[in-house]
Amino acid sequence: VLTESELIAFISRGRAGAPARKGDLGIGDDCAVLKVGARSLLVTVDLMAEGVHFDLAYTPPYLLGRKAVAASLSDIAAMGGTPRGVFVSAALPAKTKPAFARALVEGIHEEARAAGAAVLGGDTSSSMHRIFLDVVAIGEASRRGPILRRGARAGDAIYVSGTLGASARGLELLRKGFRPWSRRLWSRSLLVRGREADRRRDELVAALAHLLPRPRLALGRALGVQGLPSAMIDVSDGLAIDLHRLCDASRVGASIELARIPVDSAAAAGRPGRAPALALGGGEDYELLFTAPARAERRLMAIAERLREPLARIGRITPARRGVVLVDGSGRRRPLPRAGFEHFRSATRTT
Ligand SMILES: [Mg+2]
């Protein structure tokens, strides 16, 4: 069986067409970078396949359109850039209802509009059975240049925006049949108080975090304008995997503290013991993970406060030989697995 990383290795080993021009950057970061005059264009693409990335049983077309665009825009934010436009290609089965397509397109337009990006074009096709949505996002790097994954240095602090784990918990709930719009849910919700009401609210928040992610565009742009991060990536596949990617690109190690990871309270919805695992290994949070020298902290916190985006310092970059490690609540250090939620479920269980 061909794995995704094998396929990417085939593509990038082949030197991918003509050599990139000086100053350009190809495969290996959140976006490709194309130098045009004094500025840099950012280009990224994200493909969503029905049955793999989304399930129509719990994904309304409007939210699907928004999320497809949001996922691509998040990669522009991860370079400290500003979105300019998107190209959207869609392959829809012949049986697709016009109302479905209309809602899908409305979601695409709305997400792009909210981000200040124009829908510049795309392509359409019919498909045998399933929906495919492919979004190319184009952005502009700040005048200081794009923030790459490869700039982290030993001694830099590691930060993550927002909170983690809610989207993965939301996906679990949706897969089990939870529907945030079900009439039964809302009529029942009116009758409960206290803990039960909190749990139901958390479930709603988690499901929405999964269906309607909010990429950190304003924060990414502000960080890019001030040029504060030494390296940055967005958390699309889980904090553990994405931290490894940043460390690989920078050829450094890292040490993060479990207790400092901003676990979303909704990630615990009904299952508090599993929240740290969801925060480390769950994907699709679309938060920003970045590193910066210690002297930048005051300016970073000022930006976060102005934008009302929470920012947590979760650890420190170390020399490569120390590897990427997780320090748990009792001070025990162990290698941070390059793994998704399933792995962490057993690894972080509190007994
Ligand atoms: Mg990314």
> Cα(177) to centroid of ligand 1, in Å?
29
Instruction: Give the Å distance between the CA of 73 and the centre of ligand 1.
Output: 9
Name the H helices within 1-90: 4-13, 61-77
Ordered per-residue pLDDT tens for the chain, 351 residues: 878 778 777 777 766 666 677 777 878 888 898 988 888 999 999 999 999 889 999 999 999 999 999 999 999 999 999 999 999 999 999 999 999 999 999 999 999 999 999 999 888 888 999 999 999 999 999 999 999 999 999 999 999 999 999 999 999 999 999 998 887 777 766 667 777 778 888 999 999 999 999 999 999 999 999 999 999 999 999 999 999 999 999 999 999 999 999 999 999 877 778 888 899 998 899 999 999 999 999 999 999 999 999 999 999 999 999 999 999 989 999 999 987 766 776 555 443
* Interval between CA 77 and ligand 1 midpoint (Å): 9
Distance (angstroms) between ligand 1 centre and the Cα of 168 equals 17
Could you report how far apart the first and last alpha carbons of the chain are, in Å?
A: 37
Distance 134 CA to ligand 1 centre (A): 15
> How far, in Å, from the CA of 186 to the mean position of ligand 1?
35
By three-state DSSP, how is residue 292 classified? strand
Distance, CA 28 to ligand 1 centroid (Å)? 10
What separation in Å is there between the alpha carbon of 74 and the centre of ligand 1?
7
Question: 137 forms bridges with which residues in the sheet?
Answer: 44, 86
The alpha carbon of 158 and the centre of ligand 1 are apart by a number of angstroms equal to 17
pLDDT score of 155: 97
What spacing in Å lies between the alpha carbon of 290 and ligand 1's midpoint?
A: 12
Q: How far apart are CA 343 and CA 14, in angstroms?
A: 33
- pLDDT of 165 reads 95
Return the closest-CA partner of residue 158 out of 300, 323, 347.
300
Pairing of strands 82-93, 118-127: parallel
pLDDT of residue 351: 33
Please give the distance, rounded to the nearest whole angstrom, from the Cα atom of residue 79 to the centre of ligand 1: 9
State the Rg of the chain over Cα.
Answer: 20
For residue 5, the CA-to-ligand 1 centroid distance in Å is 15
Distance 235 CA to ligand 1 centre (A): 7
pLDDT score recorded for residue 231: 97
The pLDDT score that the predictor gives to residue 350 is 41
Residue whose C-alpha is closest to residue 254's, from 186, 318, 298, 204: 318
Ligand 1: distance of its center to the CA of 300 in Å? 21
| Cα(346) to centroid(ligand 1), Å | 26
pLDDT at 182: 83
What spacing in Å lies between the alpha carbon of 172 and ligand 1's midpoint? 22
Tokens 């929240």 belong to residue: 275
Q: Output the pLDDT for position 20.
A: 72
